Amino acid sequence: MRIQEVIKKTGLSRRTVYYYIDQKMISPVVDEHNGYHDFSEADIQKLFIIRKLREAGLSLADIRAILHKPRTTPFYLHKQLNALQSQMLTIQQTISEMDRLSGQLPVCQSLEQLAGMLADTDFCPEDPTRNQMESRDARLLAQYLWMAYLDTPVTEYQQFLWQKITQHTIEHAGTDLKMMSRYLQYISPEQIDATNINQYLRNQKIISLTEEDYPGFMEELKVSLLAFAVDPVQQEKWRLLYQPVIHPTALFCVSVSGWMREFHPAYRRYYENTHTCCRMLKDFMDSDEGAALNATLREAFQGNCDVRTGYYGELEVAATFHKSIYALLPPEKIRKFLEENSDEK
């Protein structure tokens, strides 16, 4: 269909439609005979979605990520909810304080008088609905952690399990998972989407492993971990994020793994294959033959890796660290993130 019909169906202006084409939000076919765009029903649907989400205040970057992977929609809606809630509270408090101040200071006689009044004015108090925001942070975090396993219709029992997982996440959102929630909001949606794709492909590979594949996959883990052990930048990122973000998240995932294994059979295979292969690798490292690898990794981790029974998955996290969400920022930005959120721990 031509642009006139698109304008009629979407309510968007010609300029706006072409802007979204320039931004590669849609890619209508170009008629080679006359150079006009030929819009499809899929293009119309995308334009409708873009218009509605823009009305909700979502950025083009977030909308682009949603169009690329619709399953990420709850993540970005929660992100926008938090932003709107914060803006609303700030505006409400600003109105209240300005009203109080103007009533107490009808006539400003001097800058000293104004400064004295402003000293007792707080336009940015501590968020009184922090618990509500942490609840939304928890749902956002749960969506991110288990996004790869939310792709099928759920039974009533699976819905019950998901509620338990979400509730458990809420209970931890204000404590050990707080820094992970803040970290997700610190990085860009494009970065999150890229790592989601990498993680999804990795998960599918692990899910498909059979017992015959275990030795070969263990060798791949060795190669990846040795590459990590000779990369000082990746090691620095790991050490900075391990205690506040990586380890608490890994422990949390273990704590809900029982429910998740019931929730989705693919996760059960992922969990069992990951832990089997990592346990095999740990047994190798504890042997005389693996002593050199063990020493190399000990030096690289410097105590920042927990491979006790049940936590072998941290070896998998380290093996894929360079493509993970944790490696997105350079060390200096990680330090800045940690400094800015030091009071949130």
Residue 195 domain-assigned (yes or no) = yes
Residue 230 domain-assigned (yes or no) = yes
pLDDT tens for each residue of 190-243: 777 778 778 888 999 999 999 999 999 999 999 999 999 999 999 999 999 999
Structure confidence at residue 310 as a pLDDT band (50, 70, 90): low
Structure confidence at residue 130 as a pLDDT band (50, 70, 90): very low
Q: Which residue has the higher pLDDT, 50 or 105?
A: 50
Question: What pLDDT, on the 0 to 100 scale, is given for residue 186?
Answer: 84
Contact, 47 vs 20, CB < 8 A? yes
Residue 64 domain-assigned (yes or no) = no
Q: Which residue has the higher pLDDT, 288 or 169?
A: 288
Question: What pLDDT, on the 0 to 100 scale, is given for residue 153?
Answer: 67
Whether residue 153 is found in the same domain as residue 12: no
Whether residue 162 is found in the same domain as residue 204: yes
Q: For residue 27, what are its two tokens? A: 């890619």
pLDDT tens for each residue of 233-271: 999 999 999 999 999 999 898 889 999 999 898 999 999
pLDDT tens for each residue of 61-80: 889 988 888 877 877 887 78
CA-wise closest residue to 249 among 309, 158, 311 = 311
Look-up: residue for tokens 């989705």? 264
Whether residue 277 is found in the same domain as residue 312: yes
Residue 125 domain-assigned (yes or no) = no
Residue 66 domain-assigned (yes or no) = no
Residue 65 domain-assigned (yes or no) = no
Whether residue 111 is found in the same domain as residue 141: no
Q: From CA 53, how far away is CA 57, in angstroms rounded?
A: 6
Residue 108 vs residues 112, 119, 139, 176: alpha-carbon distances, Å = 9, 15, 48, 48
Whether residue 163 is found in the same domain as residue 304: yes
Q: Which residue has the higher pLDDT, 272 or 120?
A: 272
Q: The whole model's pTM is what?
A: 0.66
Look-up: residue for tokens 């104004």? 114
Whether residue 135 is found in the same domain as residue 111: no
Q: From CA 94, how far away is CA 281, in angstroms rounded?
A: 57
Question: What pLDDT, on the 0 to 100 scale, is given for residue 128?
Answer: 47
Whether residue 20 is found in the same domain as residue 148: no
Question: DSSP per residue over 229-244, as a string?
Answer: HT-HHHHHHHHHHIII
Positive/negative CA dihedral, 278, 282, 288, 290: positive
Residue 292 domain-assigned (yes or no) = yes
- CATH number of the domain at 27, please: 1.10.1660.10
Whether residue 12 is found in the same domain as residue 98: no
Mean predicted confidence (pLDDT) in 152-174: 82
Mean predicted confidence (pLDDT) in 111-132: 65
Domain count, the chain: 3
Residue 202 domain-assigned (yes or no) = yes
Q: For residue 17, what are its two tokens? A: 């439609």
Look-up: residue for tokens 């970057």? 61
Q: Which residue has the higher pLDDT, 341 or 285?
A: 285
- Mean pLDDT over all residues of the chain? 85
Q: From CA 177, how far away is CA 173, in angstroms rounded?
A: 5
Whether residue 206 is found in the same domain as residue 105: no
Residue 92's domain spans which residues? Answer: 71-119
Whether residue 141 is found in the same domain as residue 257: yes
Structure confidence at residue 344 as a pLDDT band (50, 70, 90): very low
Mean predicted confidence (pLDDT) in 145-161: 78
Phi, psi of 305 (to 5 degrees): -160, 125
Q: Which residue has the higher pLDDT, 113 or 31?
A: 31
Whether residue 102 is found in the same domain as residue 174: no
Share of the chain above pLDDT 70, in %: 90
Structure confidence at residue 106 as a pLDDT band (50, 70, 90): low
Whether residue 153 is found in the same domain as residue 97: no
Mean predicted confidence (pLDDT) in 7-27: 92
Q: From CA 16, how far away is CA 344, in angstroms rounded?
A: 41
Question: What pLDDT, on the 0 to 100 scale, is given for residue 66?
Answer: 87
